């Protein structure tokens, strides 16, 4: 059973600093910009913000390549601006979480510069170095066949000067730290964690938390893709043997500060394995992000080697069922999210982003999320129903993310740079799934330039520059300003839904989830039941199609009550007016209390 905790009931809003709000008109979002929007966030009803990496960085992977944990990327502001942001967030009764990126640093971090300077440098062992292998013909080969996370290249980079390879599970410019060395761990904890905990942050979203401990001997991964020179190896290099020892050390520090954590847990399909991280008894992490739901529709050997909407509704529901199952009868905890900075927009992926249905779709997904158990996360722009940038008005040249760019490079290498059919297929995949969709500047105001990204600077009469990434071509139709006073807007609906969730925490935050129609390809019909016997239940019915649908009101036995039909009380609909039991309009969602 689950003890009640503030962070379990919290709604946490994720901010991507480069793209949230530009206060000075230089085209890059910044910390004063975030501070200027805190009242907006407080009025939405969120309890905490999670700020993506704002540390000093060459920005090869948008701040996930950190060159100095104890400083801020200058275009974003200063450590003092962070202190102001923390203070002002606290003053509004909200908490602050930062991103903790400690599997790797930037290759521009002072530690790595030292490490690569010479084999006998004291910091050499802070990273992972190995000699080359050689083919029978004497060709130099990397130490194993692992593919890095971006594109199709090796996870190893040859260092000419010292004649060894170093490991980078992500970009070449993101060398992996060697957690086996206790001095490295000590330095990581002091620099990346304590420095900011001492400045008042309330917790961390922990990046790639299960990759710190590598498998002994760094063995080759099984060949999944015989065509490719390097193999996806996530299942091999995640969840290594010393993970829990390392997290135990980390937790000893975090718990001194009462800091909360949510760890990102890729490549971990086994729920018992997930529980090792997040069971309350294990004292490792408070929450985890599982990938089951956001990976739906990804290609099997490479996430972008797929076609749009390449999944069944049943797959989406099954993924939700798995993550919801984590809390059933355990002391573990889960999270609810459909978006983050690594994902395309949920309306485009899981519902319908065409002009006719996108508002309904955004409300449908909002209703789904607030009825699911776990800690709720909302990504910037999700609250106003942002959709992916369209193919015809946002060309491939506008995509800037390293993951997208290296995927395109791989496609060109494999199929030829002038293979228009393959390139167009790649564009379709990126238009549907690329991380770029989450990273276009937040559309604050459709009437201001660049969707209002630098609105305040423009109002103050400053010269404003084009945003670092092209703004959303639909900013005129989808933006915060036009929704603020519109009671029918997605924004108004999200605000209402956050309140709705809070009125029924026993059901929606802590309750058990039971899918009544797992195979239904049109409707998502589930029940939420309190953890303990007795008390009201909730019935949630969601129409994932553009057609009006009849639905059979479930019988008492299915709902787990003696006589159902008379006891259903409609308490919420995505549509105006009262819900009608048995009928759903296109993309309508309804909730009933079952007494």
**Toward Ca ion, which CB reaches closer, 19 or 375?**
19
Residue 266 binding partner per list ligand TEU, Ca ion, none, with a CB distance cut-off of 5 to 8 Å that depends on partner kind? ligand TEU
Q: How many positions of this chain bind ligand TEU (CB under 6 A)? A: 14
**Helices (DSSP H) in 371-479: which residue ranges?**
402-415, 420-433, 455-459
Can you tell me the distance from the alpha carbon of 427 to that of 415, in angstroms, rounded to the nearest whole number? 14
Name the token pair of 153: 């290249």
**Toward Ca ion, which CB reaches closer, 22 or 339?**
22
For residue 336, what are the β-bridge partners? 376
Return the H-helix or E-strand segment holding 265.
Answer: strand 260-265
Can you tell me the distance from the alpha carbon of 225 to that of 145, in angstroms, rounded to the nearest whole number? 11
Residue 170 binding partner per list Ca ion, ligand TEU, none, with a CB distance cut-off of 5 to 8 Å that depends on partner kind? ligand TEU
Instruction: Map the footprint of ligand TEU across residues 522-541, applying CB under 6 A.
Output: none
Given 339, 342, 353, 529, the residue binding ligand TEU (CB under 6 A): 342
Name the token pair of 1: 């059973």
Instruction: Map the footprint of ligand TEU across residues 51-80, applying CB under 6 A.
Output: 61, 64
Q: Is 208 in the site for ligand TEU (CB under 6 A)?
A: yes
Can you tell me the distance from the alpha carbon of 220 to that of 217, in angstroms, rounded to the nearest whole number? 9
**Toward Ca ion, which CB reaches closer, 75 or 556?**
75
Binding mask 347-386 for ligand TEU (x = CB under 6 A): ----------------------------------------
**Toward ligand TEU, which CB reaches closer, 209 or 336?**
209
Report in angstroms how near the CB of residue 330 gets to ligand TEU at its nearest. Answer: 24
Name the token pair of 401: 């993310």
Burial of 68 (0-12, 13-18, 19+ CB in 10 A): middle
Q: Which residue is nearest to ligand TEU (CB)?
A: 64
User: Which candidate in 173, 176, 207, 383 is catalytic?
Assistant: 207
Q: How many positions of this chain bind Ca ion (CB under 5 A)? A: 5
Residue 24 binding partner per list Ca ion, ligand TEU, none, with a CB distance cut-off of 5 to 8 Å that depends on partner kind? Ca ion
Report in angstroms how near the CB of residue 261 gets to ligand TEU at its nearest. Answer: 15
Report in angstroms how near the CB of residue 179 gets to ligand TEU at its nearest. Answer: 15
Report in angstroms how near the CB of residue 295 gets to ligand TEU at its nearest. Answer: 9
**Helices (DSSP H) in 198-270: which residue ranges?**
234-237, 243-257
Active site (annotated) includes residue 207: yes
Instruction: Map the footprint of Ca ion across residues 10-49, applying CB under 5 A.
Output: 22, 24, 26, 28, 30
Beta-carbon contacts of residue 297 (< 8 Å; ≥ 6 apart):
306, 308, 309, 310, 311, 315, 349, 432, 433
Residue 101 binding partner per list ligand TEU, Ca ion, none, with a CB distance cut-off of 5 to 8 Å that depends on partner kind? ligand TEU
Return the H-helix or E-strand segment holding 376.
Answer: strand 375-379
Name the token pair of 117: 């300077």
Binding mask 241-280 for ligand TEU (x = CB under 6 A): -----------------------x-x--------------
Residue in the block written with tokens 């009125």: 503
Residue in the block written with tokens 């050390």: 249
**Toward Ca ion, which CB reaches closer, 26 or 321?**
26
Residue 26 binding partner per list ligand TEU, Ca ion, none, with a CB distance cut-off of 5 to 8 Å that depends on partner kind? Ca ion
- The answer to whether 345 and 438 are in contact (CB under 8 A) is yes
Residue in the block written with tokens 């990397």: 142
Instruction: Map the footprint of ligand TEU across residues 396-435, applying CB under 6 A.
Output: 403, 435
In order, the DSSP letters of 512-566 are EEEES-TT-SSEEEEEEE-SSSSS-EEEEEEE-SSS-EE-PPPPHHHHTSSS-GG
Report in angstroms how near the CB of residue 252 gets to ligand TEU at its nearest. Answer: 24
User: What letter does residue 323 receive in the DSSP assignment?
Assistant: H
Can you tell me the distance from the alpha carbon of 567 to that of 570, in angstroms, rounded to the nearest whole number? 10
Name the token pair of 251: 């937790």
Q: Is 170 in the site for ligand TEU (CB under 6 A)?
A: yes
**Toward ligand TEU, which CB reaches closer, 202 or 436?**
436
**Toward ligand TEU, which CB reaches closer, 170 or 316?**
170
For residue 376, what are the β-bridge partners? 11, 336
Neighbours of 79 (CB within 10 A): 15
Can you tell me the distance from the alpha carbon of 6 to that of 308, in angstroms, rounded to the nearest whole number? 38
Sign of CA dihedral 268, 100, 362, 466: negative
- The answer to whether 63 and 53 are in contact (CB under 8 A) is yes
User: Which candidate in 99, 264, 352, 369 is catalytic?
Assistant: 264
Binding mask 101-140 for ligand TEU (x = CB under 6 A): x---------------------------------------
- Residues labelled catalytic: 207, 264
Contact footprint for Ca ion (CB under 5 A): 22, 24, 26, 28, 30
Contact footprint for ligand TEU (CB under 6 A): 61, 64, 101, 149, 170, 207-208, 264, 266, 303, 341-342, 403, 435
């Amino acid at each position: 059973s689950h003890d009640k905790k503030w962070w379990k009931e919290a709604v946490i809003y994720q901010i991507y600093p480069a793209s949230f709000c530009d206060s000075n008109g230089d085209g890059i979002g910044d910390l004063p910009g975030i501070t200027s929007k805190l009242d907006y966030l407080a009025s939405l009803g969120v309890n905490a913000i999670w700020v993506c990496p704002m540390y000093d960085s060459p920005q090869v992977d948008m701040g996930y390549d950190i060159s100095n944990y104890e400083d801020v990327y200058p275009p974003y502001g200063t450590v003092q601006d962070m202190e102001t942001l923390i203070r002002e967030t606290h003053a509004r009764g909200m908490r602050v979480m930062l991103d903790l990126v400690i599997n790797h640093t930037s290759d521009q971090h002072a530690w790595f510069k030292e490490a690569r300077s010479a084999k006998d440098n004291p910091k050499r062992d802070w990273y992972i170095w190995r000699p080359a292998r050689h083919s029978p013909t004497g060709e130099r080969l990397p130490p194993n066949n692992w593919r890095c996370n971006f594109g199709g290249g090796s996870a190893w980079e040859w260092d000419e000067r010292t004649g060894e390879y170093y490991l980078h599970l992500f970009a070449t410019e993101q060398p992996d730290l060697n957690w086996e060395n206790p001095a490295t761990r000590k330095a990581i904890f002091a620099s990346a964690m304590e420095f900011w905990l001492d400045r008042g942050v309330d917790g961390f979203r922990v990046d790639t938390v299960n990759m710190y401990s590598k498998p002994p001997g760094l063995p080759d991964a099984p060949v999944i893709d015989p065509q490719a020179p390097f193999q996806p190896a996530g299942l091999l290099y995640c969840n290594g043997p010393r993970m829990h020892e390392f997290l135990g050390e980390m937790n000893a520090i975090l718990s001194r500060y009462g800091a909360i954590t949510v760890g990102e847990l890729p490549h971990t399909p086994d729920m018992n394995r997930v529980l090792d991280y997040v069971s309350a008894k294990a004292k490792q992490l408070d929450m985890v992000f599982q990938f089951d739901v956001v990976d739906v529709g990804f290609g099997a050997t490479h996430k972008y080697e797929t076609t749009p909407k390449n999944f069944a509704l049943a797959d989406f529901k099954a993924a939700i069922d798995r993550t919801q199952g984590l809390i059933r009868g355990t002391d573990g905890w889960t999270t609810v999210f459909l978006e983050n900075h690594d994902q395309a927009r949920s309306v485009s992926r899981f519902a319908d982003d065409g002009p006719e249905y996108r508002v309904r779709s955004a409300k449908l997904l909002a209703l789904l999320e607030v009825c699911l158990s776990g800690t709720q996360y909302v990504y910037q722009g999700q609250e106003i129903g942002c959709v992916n940038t369209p193919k015809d008005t946002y060309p491939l040249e506008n995509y800037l993310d390293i993951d997208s760019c290296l995927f395109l490079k791989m496609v060109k290498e494999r199929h030829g740079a002038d293979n228009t059919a393959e390139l167009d297929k790649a564009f379709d995949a990126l238009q549907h799934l690329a991380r770029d969709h989450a990273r276009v500047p937040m559309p604050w105001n459709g009437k201001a330039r660049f969707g209002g990204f630098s609105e305040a600077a423009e109002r103050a009469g400053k010269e404003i520059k084009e945003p670092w990434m092209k703004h959303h071509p639909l900013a005129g139709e989808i933006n915060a300003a036009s929704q603020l006073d519109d009671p029918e807007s997605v924004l108004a609906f999200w605000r209402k839904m956050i309140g709705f969730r809070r009125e029924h925490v026993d059901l929606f935050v802590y309750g058990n989830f039971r899918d009544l129609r797992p195979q239904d390809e049109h409707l998502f019909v589930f029940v939420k039941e309190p953890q303990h016997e007795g008390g009201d239940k909730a019935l949630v019915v969601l129409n994932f199609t553009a057609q009006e649908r009849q639905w059979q009101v479930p019988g008492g036995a299915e709902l787990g009550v003696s006589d159902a039909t008379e006891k259903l009380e409609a308490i919420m609909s995505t549509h105006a007016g009262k819900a009608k039991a048995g009928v759903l309009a296109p993309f309508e969602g309804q909730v009933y209390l079952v007494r």
